[in-house]
Structure 1
Amino acid sequence: MTDRIPQRNYYGKALAELARDDPRVVVMDADLAGSTKTSDFQKACPERFVEVGIAEQNMIGIASGLAASGKVVFASTFGIFATGRCWEQIRLAVAYPRLNVKICATHCGITVGEDGASHQALEDIAIMRTLPNMVVLCPADAYEVFQATKALAEYDGPAYMRMGRADFPVITDQDEPFQIGKAKVLREGCDVTLVGCGQMTAFCIEAAEVLAKDGISAEVVNMSTIKPLDSETLTGSASKTGCCVTAEEHSIVGGLGSAVAEALAESCPVPLERVGTMDTFGESGKPDELMVKYGLTTEHIVDAARKAIARK
């Protein structure tokens, strides 16, 4: 995990390839094309790029119209604007009619850093996964974002994909296809299951390595699709290890931890510990320092794993 690449860089790279390969694709942005990297598509295919300015609700409305006419629309802005400011438009104009709009948001999570609470989307997974018909993705790294973007172009229906701002560790194979709705076991284990999404998946791998030094065998699951959740892989792992830890750069309320808790409660009730922000807003600061302050580190996952094992 020596390489660190911003996820949005490979989102832009995937869009540029789609500009060449798929004439159905239209890309939209709300005055942030340089930050979201949709500018890569704009350079490759300006005639299918729509800049709406600081008018996110209008972007979703226009996107729904384009999708209704047969286009595959990627609409991008920062996560806090994409999900909070546009929620009603997404609900009624995209999710309800099940239109082919992909809402791909960057700058999610506490690692937005110095921009502070107003720009740190810690609730976006919760907001989006409540919507019927909505697929919700949180890829682990830049390479997985690239493959997920390609998969979204082929998927017929509404979807939300979240990406961070900071450089993320690279842990996946650049050429491995992305399958919506399928989790992947990255490391086999028998004592505890560590389920991660986003950059926290890399921290789960690191936590498993720390635990191994003490003779604890941790299984690591990359749950990059939050909805539909891969309950089969989750329960298969949890039934083997007997306890579970979730890790996300998002509130534990309504996010990955809640989704996993719901699935386990229904079919495989085992001790569960959740690592994420604890029902709080963020604050301005350096990303790495905020991750420590808000409990989003390898060490916090290790501690949670020990607690979960003790509860078995």
Structure 2
Amino acid sequence: MSKTMACREAYSAALLELAKEDPNIIVISSDARGSCSLNTFVKTLPDQYVEIGIAEQNEIGVAAGLSVVGKKPYVCAPACFLTARSLEQIKVDVAYSHQNVKILGVSGGVSYGALGSSHHTLHDIAALRCIPDLALIIPSDAVQTAAALRTVAQTKDAVFFRIGREKVPVVYTEEIDIEPFVLGKANTLKEGSDLTLVACGELVYHALEAEKLLKGQGIKARVLDISTLKPFDEEAIIKAARETGAIVTVEEHSVNGGLGATVCQIVCANHPVPVVTLGLPDEYLATGTSLELFGEYGLDAKGIAESASKLLQRKR
């Protein structure tokens, strides 16, 4: 069994270490200390924390204002509220105004599964990708989360992180000799020649498990981890299309406007091959845990492997 760690805990721990070294780092939350694992941060550095309350639009505005006066604000709040209630503020106050604001949307996708569709975040990739000058990062595990935060902390760019809530298997173990995170670059976790599995976020682990199932069927699958949805590594997708001839995308997002749509656009324009996009349907979802919903909608290892096998049968 793989070691498990929560991405939100890795983020807050790395942020605390950065803030100890830089008093200009200010963390801002909208009544989400628990959700964003910030309790230790608040106890350790109370003067570098601002509690806004349940007012996400104000939260982004305050962060932008702090950036204007030279502070380094880090917003932490549930993704479902940030990217619905505060989309205009992210667009105008942060991205359009070129402010050094780092935004953490926690419990993205179906992490709040049991709370139902009001708390699901299935639109955020589609919406945020349309905003210029805003990087969009979706780490696959806790190791990559911490590495990504340390990387972007050295920049003055606006960044949106989307991570889950529960503990997830560690992908970047000591056995994987790859730099966990390089902004704008995909990581090839498995080489293969029959088709490519392209995944982001927590579903990268499930794509790796699907690769094992496919290997048992004699199918060699390449696995790409797309941790940066913007800027996007188009070269990795074009290379995969040319070398493997078929692609399956896997994402914890609506099938509309996310990773799959991005990959299809790139493939269609550069090297057309069959592509199957696995995501969540354009409907209000069933209620359940993340893992239950992954299974229900074919996003677990079994579902991914079945879709990949069908694609190859159709291709042949």
TM-score (norm 1): 0.96
1:231 deviates by 0.7
Give the structure 2 partner of residue 53 of structure 1: 53
1:151 aligns with 2:151: yes
- The match for 1:278 is 281
Corresponding position: 1:249 with 2:255: no
Unaligned runs of 5+ in 1: none
SS of 1:88's equivalent? Answer: helix
Find the counterpart in structure 1 of residue 42 from structure 2: 42
Offset, 1:154: 1.3
Change (3 A) 1:71 1:177: farther
1:1-312 equivalent positions in 2, closer than 5 A: 2-173=2-173, 176=179, 178-312=181-315
Which amino acid in 2 is paired with 1:100? N
Preserved CA contact (<8 Å) 2:172 2:180 = no
Could you list the runs of 5+ residues in structure 2 that have no partner in the other structure?
A: none
CA RMSD of aligned residues (A): 1.5
Shift of 1:2: 1.4
Q: Partner of 1:220: helix, strand, or coil? A: strand
- How far did residue 152 of structure 1 move? 1.9
Q: In 1, are the aligned partners of 2:181 and 2:227 still within 8 Å (CA)?
A: no
Would the aligned equivalents of 1:112 and 1:166 in 2 still touch at CA under 8 Å? Answer: no
SS in 2 for 1:77: strand
Give CA-to-partner distance per residue, 1:92-131, whole Å, 9 cap, x none: 1011112111111111112322111111111111111111
- The TM-score normalised by the length of structure 2 is 0.94
Taking the aligned partners of 1:173 and 1:50, their CA distance within structure 2 comes to 35
**Which string of whole-angstrom CA distances, capped at 9 and with x for unpartnered residues, describes residues 261-302 of structure 1?**
111112121110011101122243233222222222111211
Runs ≥4 residues deviating over 3 A: 173-177
Amino acid at match of 1:216: I
In the alignment, the residues of structure 2 paired with residue 152 and residue 218 of structure 1 have an alpha-carbon distance, to the nearest angstrom, of: 31
